[in-house]
Amino acid sequence: MHNAIEIRDGQAVIGGVGVRKLASSCGTPLYIYDQNALEERMAEFVSSFKSDTLQTSVLYASKAFSCLAVYKLCQKHGLALDVVSAGELYTAYKAGFDLKNVYFHGNNKSRKELEMALKLKVGTIIVDNLMEAELLAFLVQKPEYQSCRVNTLLRINPGIEAHTHQYIQTAYVDSKFGISILKMDEIAQIVQTLSQAGISFDGFHAHIGSQIFEQEAFLAEITKVCEFAKTFEEQFGFVTRTLDFGGGFGVWYTDADKPVAIEQICKAVISQAEAEKERLNLAFDSICIEPGRSIVAEAGYQLYEIGFLKETQNRKYIFIDGGMTDNIRPALYQADYEFDVATNMDAAKTETVTIAGKCCESGDLLGSEITIQPYQSGDLLLVHSTGAYGYSMASNYNKLPFAGVVFVKDGKIYWAIKPQSLNELIERELLEVEEVQ
């Protein structure tokens, strides 16, 4: 087992708190984060991503899991933020995060979102396409924004094919993200549009996908981005000052996964960037990475109560009190997880089961043909490495309320996000419809 949990009296213990205590105090389904593990990963990224010759920044990719409490921890440990929506930006603002250290991503930012970024003086906007550059150039001419200093990076598509699920590849030739490095004239037009409007163009951003285990893919990305920056400078005279190489570092979900250690991948990225800068005589003096999943995934768990049991001709089903509403990844792209009967941890894994959620969908399965310890109705089921894209992709399908999120640390439980009540579930609905004026 990869994740560091204790076993006491046959039950799983996370952050010094037993699962029975968690279930009785907070209910199920429940998202659980080991706060010490979370902070250790943040600190390790920041301490490992250091260079003697380059400025370095670690951006937390908010989409993996964003809330006020996580943003406070990011600020505490010296991380910057990657946000992709007005909602994530507003959450950072309400958390008291230093917005100079926010990078605003997105392939289709609305006018309202860009105006919000300008009003809040967001540090850097990652421009995705020509239309966005033109809109931003128009907005900064408005009187209320003329005093704003706007820094930008341009997202480019280096065409590196990472070995991962097609839904989480972001740099193949037909990706919706960024502009192909083959479209040199269009890239030049974007940079010129920004520069003529007085917007600071600092450099380029690239991201080749998620859940990548091959270190070589990142090194190839760095080489390709640097060679592009050199060619672009020679052809158009724009000097690159910052390169953002994105994230996508793989994590452990099951024993089939072999992630590269944080320190190793950080040192490799640093070394490759330094070598390419020297080889190509490039001027950039700042580099960024954007870990998200690799910070929060393994620090997070989900806890369910086992309900009814059913046997069909070919399967044994365990029904749980959650499902695709609180973890859609298995239904969306066949994600695999490690499971334990958290109240029978001392037993050997001898039972092969299919774990099904309570949604009215045949595809609401968290795992098929999974081997776990002996179980019975009323036992607690623990799912490992669910800290990324569980809560952030949750829904109210079938009118199921959002589960709560707790941090556990040194034997204590802290609410980070309270569970949604039935009243809160319908609080925006109107019994008598109102005419829109």
Q: Which two tokens stand for residue 248?
A: 């996508």
Number of helices (H) and strands (E), helices first, in the chain? 12, 21
In CATH terms, the fold of domain 6-33+299-425 is Lyase, Ornithine Decarboxylase; Chain A, domain 1 (2.40.37)
| pLDDT for the residue 177 | 85
More confident position, 45 or 148: 45
Strand (E) or helix (H) holding 244: strand 242-244
Would you place residue 167 in the very low, low, confident or very high pLDDT band (cuts 50, 70, 90)? very low
Beta strands 286-289 and 55-61: pairing type? parallel
**Catalytic residue flag (residue 74):** no
| pLDDT for the residue 163 | 54
| pLDDT for the residue 120 | 96
Q: What is the CATH number of domain 49-293?
A: 3.20.20.10
| pLDDT for the residue 175 | 76
More confident position, 275 or 146: 275
Mean pLDDT, residues 127-148 taken together: 95
**Is pLDDT at 153 greater than 60 in this prediction?**
yes
More confident position, 160 or 77: 77
Report how far residue 372's alpha carbon sits from residue 411's, in angstroms, rounded to the nearest whole number.
26
Residue in 26, 226, 359, 360 annotated catalytic: 360
Lowest mean pLDDT among 33-47, 172-186, 367-381: 172-186
Report how far residue 167's alpha carbon sits from residue 175's, in angstroms, rounded to the nearest whole number.
10
| pLDDT for the residue 159 | 84
**Is pLDDT at 54 greater than 80 in this prediction?**
yes
Mean pLDDT of the chain: 95
**Is pLDDT at 63 greater than 60 in this prediction?**
yes
Instruction: Report whether 82 contacts 103 (CB < 8 A).
Output: yes
**Residue ranges matching CATH 2.40.37.10 in the chain:** 6-33+299-425
Residue with structure tokens 């009187």? Answer: 143
| pLDDT for the residue 166 | 44
Would you place residue 3 in the very low, low, confident or very high pLDDT band (cuts 50, 70, 90)? low
| pLDDT for the residue 165 | 38
Predicted TM-score of the model (pTM): 0.95
**Residue ranges matching CATH 3.20.20.10 in the chain:** 49-293
| pLDDT for the residue 161 | 67
Grouping H, G, I as helix, E, B as strand and the rest as coil, residue 226 is: helix
Report how far residue 83's alpha carbon sits from residue 99's, in angstroms, rounded to the nearest whole number.
11
**Is pLDDT at 238 greater than 80 in this prediction?**
yes
The tens digit of pLDDT for each residue in 66-99 reads: 999 999 999 999 999 999 999 999 999 999 999 9
The tens digit of pLDDT for each residue in 266-310 reads: 999 999 999 999 999 999 999 999 999 999 999 999 999 999 999
The tens digit of pLDDT for each residue in 6-27 reads: 999 999 999 999 999 999 999 9
| pLDDT for the residue 176 | 83
Would you place residue 162 in the very low, low, confident or very high pLDDT band (cuts 50, 70, 90)? low
Instruction: Report whether 282 contacts 228 (CB < 8 A).
Output: no
Mean pLDDT, residues 32-45 taken together: 98
Would you place residue 171 in the very low, low, confident or very high pLDDT band (cuts 50, 70, 90)? very low
Percent of the chain whose pLDDT exceeds 70? 96
| pLDDT for the residue 170 | 46
Would you place residue 221 in the very low, low, confident or very high pLDDT band (cuts 50, 70, 90)? very high
